[in-house]
């Protein structure tokens, strides 16, 4: 009889929710009770809204438990492991019966995330047991021509998952055809938008898939050295990457004469970045790797011609490389069976914001935004109305609710004014002020500008000043037109993708929510009742009972009134913190 296995989700999301304490508790109970079970760590399981997550696999099946604290850990060990009685009320996923969370998993197709939440990312043998390193082994054993490998990747329809969506096979072919004494291959793991959560999850949960993807890319392009450029703010990802690299070297997957095949030499190292958003742009990234300031440079020449150390270089992101081993092993048809005519395969998204079921999901291209939000995501928190979704990170765009039938593919998303990006999907509800959203994202890109281009450096600052005035009730006629003019100037005259896309949040919110801008400017009101300077708290005399609860909690003594008498709010003293609004049990405080 095979021993029972207990897996604990110990990615950054799980650890932040308390999974390390749960893991330690389980080990303590195993030792105390001398249980013959295997307890191991795994990566992000995806259901982040139910963290910490613990999966028990025994003879009867698999049971994923959610929101496991130390007390629940004791119950699981006592009842499930000890008495073989699964605790149905805690189970969030199983094949043996339905759970309220089943909708989160329906419609997902795991290719890039196939091993995340399944294997111990610090044990290479578990990766090998799930077809790991078989793709590169197949290539070497069959002595496959590099051009045939490139053709397979091209035929699969895989496009760069970092945001640009350039055909991966075509990119590899450009590098392959440029002959040079040395070539490089780089994994960009430094995207700074919410989709970077996805990159981090992959590196923390299945680093070997990325390494194998890089190996295949190196063989195909002729690269002999590779770099994984990862932001230093991801210490767990870097730790597990370095463990995986050392294990791969020990097993002969990196170094000289890889897997015993003479002539194929390749090695990798991790370069820790400083978290600069601009280094998501490939020329800035390479400058950083070389020890220079991360600033973009003119193209051409493109990296495939003259990249790292002025040698031909191929750059893709984490998710792109993670897909490659499955494409090579199972064929182009395996991957392109999913998706649309021009956008093949699957896409990973970090689903976050005002959503009930936030987490990491992988869906086939062609699924609608509505299905992701309402089926997988479980709809909007608190039953509020869905208003918009920010797709593509800080330099993406806001897609309104009435366009929620938009399918997830490169062309359809781009047509809305947003971009696919590396996978950030921020959901917003009726309480979200779209002017404030534009201001928030533009503030981020302004701060992240490297300053090289005048239009980006100064233009984003001027735009931010206008947005700030509007949200403070100081907007003027013509401000919207000024924003649009500046936005197009910045897009047309910036050197890199950061500047060219920085105005997207502003342009899309003006396009789809122009009435909110006009309300801020003309009526000095925030329709979402979000901008502090444009809202007012008053007391409804018909509802106020004089309970004094609001008075006692007001931090600036702006509320006056005797017990059992109607209270009033002094607008000159009120700082609009909203404490009275949240504390009033009779809904007597009105927000307008």
Element (H, E) at 349: strand 346-353
Distance between CA atoms of 577 and 458, rounded to whole angstroms?
Answer: 33
Q: Residue 22 to residues 27, 30, 384, 536: CA-CA distances in angstroms?
A: 9, 12, 34, 46
User: What is the token pair recorded at 574?
Assistant: 């009120």
Residue showing tokens 């890089």: 214
Would you call 441 helix, strand, or coil by DSSP? helix
Would you tell me the crossing angle of helices 454-471 and 504-518 to the nearest 10 degrees? 20
What pLDDT sits at residue 333? 97
- Side-chain-side CA neighbours of 330 within 13 Å: the count stands at 14
Distance between CA atoms of 253 and 212, rounded to whole angstroms?
Answer: 8
What pLDDT sits at residue 245? 98
Rounded to whole angstroms, the maximal C-alpha distance in the chain is: 90
Q: Residue 365 to residues 44, 168, 391: CA-CA distances in angstroms?
A: 22, 16, 15
- Other C-beta atoms closer than 10 Å to the C-beta of 523 total 11
Cβ atoms of 11 and 204 within 8 Å: the answer is yes
User: What is the token pair recorded at 531?
Assistant: 């901008």
pLDDT tens over the chain, length 592 residues: 578 999 999 999 999 999 999 999 999 999 998 989 999 999 999 999 999 999 999 999 999 999 999 999 999 999 999 888 999 999 999 999 999 999 999 999 999 999 999 999 999 999 999 999 999 999 999 999 999 999 999 999 999 987 778 999 999 999 999 999 999 999 998 765 544 567 888 999 999 999 999 999 999 999 999 999 998 889 999 999 999 999 999 999 999 999 999 999 999 999 998 878 888 889 999 999 999 998 999 889 999 999 999 999 999 999 999 999 999 999 999 999 999 999 999 999 999 999 999 999 999 999 999 999 999 999 999 999 999 999 988 888 999 999 999 999 999 999 999 988 778 899 999 999 999 999 999 999 999 888 899 999 999 999 999 999 999 999 999 999 999 999 999 999 998 888 899 999 999 999 999 999 999 999 999 999 999 899 999 999 999 999 999 999 999 999 999 999 999 999 999 999 989 999 999 999 999 8
Q: At a CB cut-off of 8 Å and minimum separation 6, what does 208 contact? A: 121, 124, 127, 132, 133, 244, 247, 248
CATH topology of domain 434-523: de novo design (two linked rop proteins) (1.20.1440)
Q: Say which CATH class 346-429 falls into.
A: alpha beta
Domain boundaries, the chain: 5-101, 124-336, 346-429, 434-523, 536-591
User: What is the token pair recorded at 189?
Assistant: 């793991």
CATH topology of domain 536-591: Alpha-Beta Plaits (3.30.70)
Rounded to two decimals, the pTM is 0.93
CA-wise closest residue to 395 among 188, 162, 167, 112: 162
Q: From its phi and psi, is residue 587 left (phi > 0), alpha (psi between -120 and 50) or beta? A: left
User: What is the token pair recorded at 231?
Assistant: 């932001």
Q: Say which CATH class 124-336 falls into.
A: alpha beta
What pLDDT sits at residue 195? 47
Partner residues linked to 273 by β-bridges:
231
∠ Cα 535 540 543 (to 5°): 140
Q: At a CB cut-off of 8 Å and minimum separation 6, what does 71 contact? A: none
CATH topology of domain 5-101: Glutaredoxin (3.40.30)
Would you call 362 helix, strand, or coil by DSSP? strand
Beta strands 5-9 and 38-42, pairing class: parallel
What pLDDT sits at residue 196? 58
What pLDDT sits at residue 1? 53
What pLDDT sits at residue 277? 83
CB burial class (10 A; 0-12, 13-18, 19+) of residue 30?
Answer: middle
What pLDDT sits at residue 191? 60
CA-wise closest residue to 259 among 269, 249, 268: 249
- Other C-beta atoms closer than 10 Å to the C-beta of 87 total 15
Residue showing tokens 């990566």: 43
How far apart, in Å, do the first and last CA atoms of the chain sit? 66
Please say whether the dihedral angle defined by the alpha carbons of residues 252, 214, 153 and 408, taken in this order, is positive or negative: positive
Distance between CA atoms of 424 and 392, rounded to whole angstroms?
Answer: 6
Q: At a CB cut-off of 8 Å and minimum separation 6, what does 31 contact? A: none
Beta strands 589-591 and 313-317, pairing class: unpaired
Cβ atoms of 422 and 193 within 8 Å: the answer is yes
For the stretch 234-293, pLDDT in tens is: 999 999 999 999 999 999 999 999 999 999 999 999 999 887 888 888 999 999 999 999
């Amino acid at each position: 009889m095979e021993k029972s296995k207990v897996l604990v989700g110990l990615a950054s999301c799980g650890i932040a929710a308390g999974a390390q304490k749960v893991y330690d508790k389980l080990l303590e109970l195993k030792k105390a009770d001398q249980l013959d079970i295997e307890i191991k760590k795994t990566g992000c399981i995806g259901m982040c809204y139910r963290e910490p997550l613990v999966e028990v696999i025994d003879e009867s099946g698999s049971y994923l438990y959610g929101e496991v604290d130390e007390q629940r850990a004791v119950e699981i060990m006592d009842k499930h492991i000890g008495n073989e009685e699964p605790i149905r009320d805690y189970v969030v996923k199983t094949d043996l019966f339905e759970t309220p969370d089943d909708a989160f998993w329906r419609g997902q197709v795991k290719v890039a995330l196939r091993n995340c939440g399944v294997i111990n990312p610090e044990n290479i043998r578990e990766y090998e047991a799930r077809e790991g390193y078989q793709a590169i082994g197949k290539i070497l054993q069959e002595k496959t021509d590099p051009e045939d490998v490139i053709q397979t990747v091209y035929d699969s329809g895989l496009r760069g998952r970092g945001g640009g969506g350039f055909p991966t096979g075509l990119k590899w072919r450009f590098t392959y055809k440029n002959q040079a004494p040395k070539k490089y291959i780089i994994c960009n793991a430094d995207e700074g938008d919410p989709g970077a959560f996805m990159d981090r999850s992959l590196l923390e949960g299945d680093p070997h898939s990325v390494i194998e993807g890089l190996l295949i890319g190196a063989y195909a392009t002729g690269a002999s050295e590779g770099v994984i450029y990862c932001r230093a703010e991801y210490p767990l990802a870097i730790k597990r990457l370095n463990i995986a690299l050392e294990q791969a070297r020990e097993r002969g997957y990196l170094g000289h004469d890889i897997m015993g095949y003479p002539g194929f030499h390749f090695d990798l190292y991790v370069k820790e970045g400083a978290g600069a958003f601009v280094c998501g742009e490939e020329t800035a990234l390479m400058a950083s790797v070389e020890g220079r300031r991360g600033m973009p440079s003119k193209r051409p020449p493109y990296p495939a011609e003259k990249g790292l150390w002025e040698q031909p270089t191929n750059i893709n992101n984490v998710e792109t490389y993670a897909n490659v081993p499955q494409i090579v092993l199972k064929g182009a048809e395996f991957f392109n069976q999913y998706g649309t005519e021009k956008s093949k395969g699957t896409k990973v998204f970090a689903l976050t914001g005002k959503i009930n079921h936030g987490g990491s999901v992988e869906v086939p291209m062609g699924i609608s935004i509505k299905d992701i939000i309402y089926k997988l995501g479980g709809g909007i928190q608190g039953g509020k109305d869905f208003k918009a979704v920010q797709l593509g990170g800080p330099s993406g765009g806001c897609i309104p609710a009435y366009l929620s039938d938009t399918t997830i593919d490169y062309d359809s998303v781009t047509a809305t004014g947003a971009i696919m990006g590396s996978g950030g999907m921020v959901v917003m509800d009726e309480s979200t002020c779209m002017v404030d959203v534009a201001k928030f994202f533009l503030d981020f890109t302004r701060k992240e500008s490297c300053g090289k281009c005048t239009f980006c450096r100064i233009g984003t600052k001027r735009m931010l000043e206008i947005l700030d005035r509007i949200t403070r009730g100081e907007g003027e006629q013509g401000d919207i037109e000024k924003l649009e003019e500046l936005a197009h100037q910045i897009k047309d005259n910036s050197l890199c993708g950061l500047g060219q896309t920085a105005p997207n949040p502003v342009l899309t919110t003006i396009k789809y929510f122009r009435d909110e801008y006009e309300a801020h400017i003309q009526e000095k009101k925030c329709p979402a009742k979000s901008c502090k300077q444009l809202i007012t708290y008053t007391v409804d005399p018909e509802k106020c009972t004089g309970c004094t609860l609001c008075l006692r909690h007001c931090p600036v003594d702006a509320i006056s009134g005797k017990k059992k008498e109607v209270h009033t709010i002094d607008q000159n003293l009120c700082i609009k913190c909203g404490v009275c609004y949240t504390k009033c049990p009779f809904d007597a405080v009105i927000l307008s």
